[in-house]
């Protein structure tokens, strides 16, 4: 069983490149199904969720290969509309293939998706939106069979701005030849990236990043070459490294606008933030200040994916902080591991109260999920002594060799075992 071994208590200084965005890459890989021409996708992170997406593409009959952060996909010979349960269970984003397979094949047979255990993660908004667009859906157990024999058209209003459901609708309708409007759409930057990729393929979509997305009739979808946006959550992770350990970290390629509210939170905790051409620098001297209250919200609010990262920083802050998690029902799983390091955290429903401690002490902990695992790594980097983190497979779903990035910033961290 692979572990991260950290000898903590060291400042982090230096500069690292920010990886490509996991949450942009996954729907973009699904979008490559919409043409039988070649798509060349650069800045794709080398992570296990991307490997799982490539496995799904191959399962459907596409050729897909990741080489030095570039994926080349050719979906000329699609021979299946089915994703087996084993593959669907590997990640939440497998549900994103539903819209793309339906657009390509007219039918699709999938299962309820897997993904981090962050509480209930239904797909009712996905299915309700597809039905509204004329897709016929039959469920049996966790099997889902869909048929879009009529061209989709019309308007969809989502009861909640679901990121994945917004992307599924865009993938289903991008090349459908009819006008579709999506109201109460999610506004995350990854949705803008998907819109840009689809438009590079010949779609005519506008409004991504706002609550109204218009998918206009367009010609056939064709191949393209595209570069994925930087990963704002990975960038925030290394920025929080400077905040919790002290030091100065320069994030090459980071997009400050995508991290605006996290950077504001770090500034209120006492960090210096510098935004220059193509990089963001976060510096911290001394102990972070507490933050009275931070609440997660859909973008552009404070991102739920960054909640565990800031939670880790606040465990060593000078005072009491509170975090309210409003997106997922169970996203405080990481607090057990941080408590083992000596953090004083009390979760009660959607509220997490944190009393900052002067120091943390190394311990053996296990990552509960992707971003929770990153939070434990942050705690271990700040803790005095040795921290061993199990469940590294969770972290590897979203971070490209996290130990190499932190080591490049001066951390004493290594990966042991296979």
Binding mask 87-106 for ligand EPZ (x = CB under 6 A): -----xx-------------
H or E element, residue 247: strand 247-252
Tell the residue number behind the tokens 């459901």, with chain if given.
Answer: 165
Q: Among residues 184 and 281, whose Cβ is nearest to ligand EPZ?
A: 184
Q: Which of 12, 74, 49 is nearest to 251 (CA)?
A: 12
- Cα(first)–Cα(last) distance of the chain, in Å? 6
Q: Give the range of 61-69, 124-132, 149-157, 198-206 binding ligand EPZ by CB under 6 A.
A: 124-132
Q: Is residue 116 among the annotated active site residues?
A: yes
Q: Among residues 26 and 29, whose Cβ is nearest to ligand EPZ?
A: 26
Spell out the residues 6+ positions from residue 369 whose beta carbon is closer than 8 angstroms to its own: 116, 117, 118, 333, 334, 394
The residue from 39, 116, 146, 173 that is catalytic is 116
Strand spans (E) along 75-210: 107-111, 136-140, 143-147, 154-157, 180-183, 204-206
Q: Give the range of 19-27, 239-247, 316-324, 332-340 binding ligand EPZ by CB under 6 A.
A: 19-27
Determine if 327 is a binding residue for ligand EPZ (CB under 6 A): yes
Q: Among residues 186 and 259, whose Cβ is nearest to ligand EPZ?
A: 186
Strand ranges across the sheet with 38-42 = 63-67, 70-74, 38-42, 224-227
Which residue among 99, 230, 391, 398 contacts ligand EPZ (CB under 6 A)?
398
Q: Which of 68, 56, 130 is nearest to 92 (CA)?
A: 56
Q: Among residues 130 and 283, whose Cβ is nearest to ligand EPZ?
A: 130
Q: Give the range of 54-62, 158-166, 196-204, 359-367 binding ligand EPZ by CB under 6 A.
A: 158-166
Q: Give me the helices (H) in 174-224, please.
A: 189-200
Lookup: tokens for 120: 């209930």
> CA 325 → CA 95, 191, 200, 301, 322, distances in Å?
24, 22, 36, 12, 10
Spell out the residues 6+ positions from residue 78 whose beta carbon is closer than 8 angstroms to its own: 33, 36, 60, 61, 62, 104, 105
Lookup: tokens for 129: 């939106």
Which residue among 9, 12, 19, 23 contacts ligand EPZ (CB under 6 A)?
23
Count helices and strands in the chain by DSSP H and E runs: 14, 23
Determine if 30 is a binding residue for ligand EPZ (CB under 6 A): no
Q: Among residues 283 and 294, whose Cβ is nearest to ligand EPZ?
A: 294
Q: How far is the CB of 107 from ligand EPZ (least distance, A)?
A: 21
Determine if 28 is a binding residue for ligand EPZ (CB under 6 A): no
Size of the site for ligand EPZ (CB under 6 A): 26
The backbone region for 38, taken as left when phi is positive above 0, alpha when psi lies in -120 to 50, beta otherwise, is: beta
Using only C-alpha atoms, the chain has a radius of gyration, in whole angstroms, of 21
Determine if 162 is a binding residue for ligand EPZ (CB under 6 A): yes
Q: Among residues 308 and 356, whose Cβ is nearest to ligand EPZ?
A: 308
Determine if 121 is a binding residue for ligand EPZ (CB under 6 A): yes
267-306 residues in contact with ligand EPZ (CB under 6 A) are: 304-305
Are 357 and 317 a contacting pair, CB within 8 Å? no
Binding mask 172-211 for ligand EPZ (x = CB under 6 A): --------------x-------------------------
Q: Among residues 187 and 287, whose Cβ is nearest to ligand EPZ?
A: 187
Q: Give me the helices (H) in 73-149, please.
A: 85-88, 97-105, 124-132
Determine if 21 is a binding residue for ligand EPZ (CB under 6 A): no
Determine if 126 is a binding residue for ligand EPZ (CB under 6 A): yes
Which residue among 90, 258, 371, 394 contacts ligand EPZ (CB under 6 A)?
371
- Give the footprint of ligand EPZ on this chain (CB under 6 A): 22-23, 26, 92-93, 116, 120-126, 160, 162-165, 186, 304-305, 327-328, 370-371, 398
Q: Which residues are catalytic?
A: 116
């Amino acid at each position: 069983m692979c572990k991260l071994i950290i000898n903590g208590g060291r400042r982090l200084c230096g500069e690292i490149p920010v990886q490509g965005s996991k949450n942009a890459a996954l729907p973009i890989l699904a979008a490559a199904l919409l043409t039988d021409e070649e798509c060349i996708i650069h800045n794709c992170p080398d992570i296990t969720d991307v490997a799982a997406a490539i496995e799904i593409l191959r399962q459907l009959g596409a050729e897909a290969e990741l080489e030095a952060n570039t994926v080349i996909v050719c979906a000329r010979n699609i021979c299946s509309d089915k994703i087996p349960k084993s593959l669907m269970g590997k990640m939440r984003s497998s549900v994103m293939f539903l819209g793309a397979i339906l657009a390509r094949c007219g039918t699709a047979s999938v299962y309820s998706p897997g993904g981090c255990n962050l509480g209930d993660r239904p797909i009712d908004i996905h299915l309700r939106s597809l039905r509204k667009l004329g897709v016929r859906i039959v469920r049996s157990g966790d099997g889902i069979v869909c048929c879009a024999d009529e061209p989709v058209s019309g308007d969809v209003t989502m009861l909640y701005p679901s990121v994945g459901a917004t992307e599924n609708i865009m993938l289903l309708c991008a090349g459908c030849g009819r006008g579709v409007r999506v109201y109460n759409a999610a506004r995350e930057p990854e949705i803008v990236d998907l819109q840009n990729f689809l438009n590079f393929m010949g779609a005519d979509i506008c409004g991504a990043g706002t609550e109204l997305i218009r998918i206009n009739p367009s010609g056939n979808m064709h191949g393209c070459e595209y570069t994925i946006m930087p990963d704002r959550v990975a960038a925030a992770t290394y920025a929080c490294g400077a905040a919790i350990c002290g030091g100065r970290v320069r994030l090459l390629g980071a997009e400050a606008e995508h991290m605006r509210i996290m950077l504001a939170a770090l500034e209120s905790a006492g960090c210096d933030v510098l935004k220059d051409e193509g990089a963001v620098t976060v510096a911290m001297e001394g102990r972070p200040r507490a933050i009275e209250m931070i609440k997660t919200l859909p973008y552009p609010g404070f991102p739920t994916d960054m909640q565990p990262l800031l939670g880790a920083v606040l465990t060593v802050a000078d005072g009491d902080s509170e975090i309210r998690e409003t997106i997922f029902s169970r996203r405080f799983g990481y607090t057990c591991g941080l408590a083992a390091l000596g953090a004083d955290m009390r979760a009660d429903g959607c509220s997490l109260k944190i009393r900052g401690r002067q120091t943390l002490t190394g311990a053996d902990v296990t990552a509960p999920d992707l971003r929770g695992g990153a939070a434990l790594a942050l705690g271990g980097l700040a803790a005095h002594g040795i921290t061993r983190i199990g469940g590294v497979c969770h972290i590897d779903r979203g971070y490209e060799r996290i130990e190499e990035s932190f080591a490049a910033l001066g951390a004493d961290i290594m990966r042991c075992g296979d």
